[in-house]
């Protein structure tokens, strides 16, 4: 019998390890922020203002990445900022994923009028420019962590809905779905136990990507001072402050940008890596 044996497992996946490694560092820093941060992120000390990072002349020991124009320790602020970034990333992305994927699965699998209704809503929804939409929503709900999360969910569920609808649609046409019908199974059961496992890899990849996007949106909202109270350390807020003193203290702008960049990149790469791990055909 000419049956192909199971393919050998993919070896050590550098992309998955690097991205996962950075995310783990950020996650641990966020969870244990009070323990790992060398200073109080809010403590001002005008004697220590605009200290450069440790390798430049004029730096003070203990202030590894320098201080901002109010003398607050930059590293501590970044670590506490990671808390807010990750809370927003996990909660908002997960909620958007659940809402969008459920609607997308229903639209794609059932077709017909459920699909028409859901697709029209998505079309109308996507006609709003996302960042303006977010600013408008936060302006309506008032600033605060909760309204940032709500804003992201309200804007970004359509991303899941569109992708999962398309995938569920192509899966619904497969013969195995018809076979399950013939075997006597109901539609809901087929949707959940036959179609869902086949779109799960995409959901996981999108979820991870969406976490990165949520981090960006949160940063944008803090940058325009619409996120949480203005003295709470958020990456976007630190970037906004750093922008003002870029000629005197570039590090206040550059380090949060690097943290943001690495985190968003890691989320998207981690998602892609997981997708190829999850997919039995690619594996």
Partner 1 sequence: MSDCLDISNLSATLPSGQRVLRSVSLTVQPGEVRALVGESGAGKSMIGKAVLGVLPPSVRIVEGAIRLEGTDLDALSAKERRRLIGAKAALIPQDPLTALNPSRRVGPQMTDRLVHILGWDADKADKRVRQLLDEVHIREPDRVMKAYPHELSGGMRQRVLIAAAFASEPRLIVADEPTTALDVTVQKQILRLIAQLQQEHGTAILFVTHDLGVVAKVSQKVTVLYAGKVVEEADTPALFANPQHAYTRALMAATPKYTDPLASLKPVDESVLAGLAAEVAVADHDWRPHG
Rounded-to-integer distance, Cα 173 and Cα 6, Å: 27
Minimum distance from residue 115 beta carbon to partner 1 (Å):
12
Residue nearer to partner 1 on the CB measure, 195 or 217: 195
- Report, in angstroms and rounded to the nearest whole number, the Rg of the chain calculated over CA atoms: 23
Interface with partner 1 by CB under 8 A: which range of 1-9, 69-77, 141-149, 220-228? 1-9
Query: Within positions 173 to 212, which residues make up the interface with partner 1, using CB under 8 A?
Result: 174-176, 178-186, 194, 197-198, 200
DSSP state of 282: T
**Smallest separation (angstroms) from partner 1 to the CB of 202:** 11
Rounded to a whole number of angstroms, the minimum distance from the CB of residue 172 to partner 1 is 12
The contacts of residue 69 (CB under 8 Å, 6+ apart) are: 49, 50, 241, 244, 245, 248, 249, 252
Helix axes 112-126, 145-172, angle to 10 degrees: 140
Instruction: Give the C-alpha separation, 215 to 236, whole Å.
Output: 9
Report how far residue 96's alpha carbon sits from residue 210's, in angstroms, rounded to the nearest whole number.
9
**Sole binder of partner 1 in the list 4, 14, 61, 132 (CB under 8 A):** 4
Is 229 one of the binding residues for partner 1 (CB under 8 A)?
Answer: no
Nearer to partner 1, 156 or 194 (CB): 194
Q: Which of positions 102-131 make contact with partner 1 (CB under 8 A)?
A: 112
d(CA 53, CA 283): 44
Q: Least separation, in Å, of the C-beta of 93 and partner 1?
A: 23
Q: Shortest gap between Cβ of 260 and partner 1 (angstroms)?
A: 35
Q: Between residue 145 and residue 174, which ones bind partner 1 under the rule CB under 8 A? A: 174
- Cα separation, 117 vs 85, in Å, equals 34
Distance CA 2, CA 5 (A): 9
Q: Which residues bind partner 1 (CB under 8 A)?
A: 1-7, 112, 174-176, 178-186, 194, 197-198, 200, 279-281
């Amino acid at each position: 019998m000419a049956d192909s044996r199971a393919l050998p497992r993919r070896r050590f996946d550098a992309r998955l390890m690097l991205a996962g490694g950075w995310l783990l560092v950020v996650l641990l820093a966020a969870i244990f922020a009070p323990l790992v941060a060398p200073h109080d992120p809010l403590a001002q000390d005008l004697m220590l203002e605009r200290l450069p990072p440790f390798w430049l002349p004029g730096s003070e020991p203990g202030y590894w990445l320098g201080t901002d124009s109010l003398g607050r320790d930059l590293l501590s602020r970044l670590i506490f900022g990671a808390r807010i970034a990750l809370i927003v990333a996990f909660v908002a992305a997960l909620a958007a994923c659940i809402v969008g994927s459920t609607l997308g699965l229903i639209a794609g699998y059932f077709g017909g009028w459920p699909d028409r209704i859901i697709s029209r809503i998505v079309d109308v929804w996507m006609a709003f420019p996302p960042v303006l939409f977010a600013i408008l929503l936060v302006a309506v709900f008032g600033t605060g962590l909760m309204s940032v999360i709500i804003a992201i969910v309200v804007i970004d569920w359509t991303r899941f809905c569109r992708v999962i609808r398309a995938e569920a649609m192509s899966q619904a046409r497969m013969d195995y779905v018809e076979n399950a019908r013939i075997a006597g199974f109901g539609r809901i059961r087929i949707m959940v136990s036959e179609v869902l496992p086949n779109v799960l890899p995409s959901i996981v990849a999108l979820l991870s990507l969406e976490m990165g996007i949520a981090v960006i949106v949160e940063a944008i909202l803090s940058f325009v001072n619409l996120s949480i109270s203005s003295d709470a350390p958020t990456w976007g807020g630190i970037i906004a402050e750093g922008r003002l003193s870029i000629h005197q203290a570039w590090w206040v702008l550059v380090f949060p940008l690097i943290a943001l960049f690495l985190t968003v990149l890691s989320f998207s790469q981690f998602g892609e890596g997981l997708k190829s791990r999850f997919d039995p055909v690619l594996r």
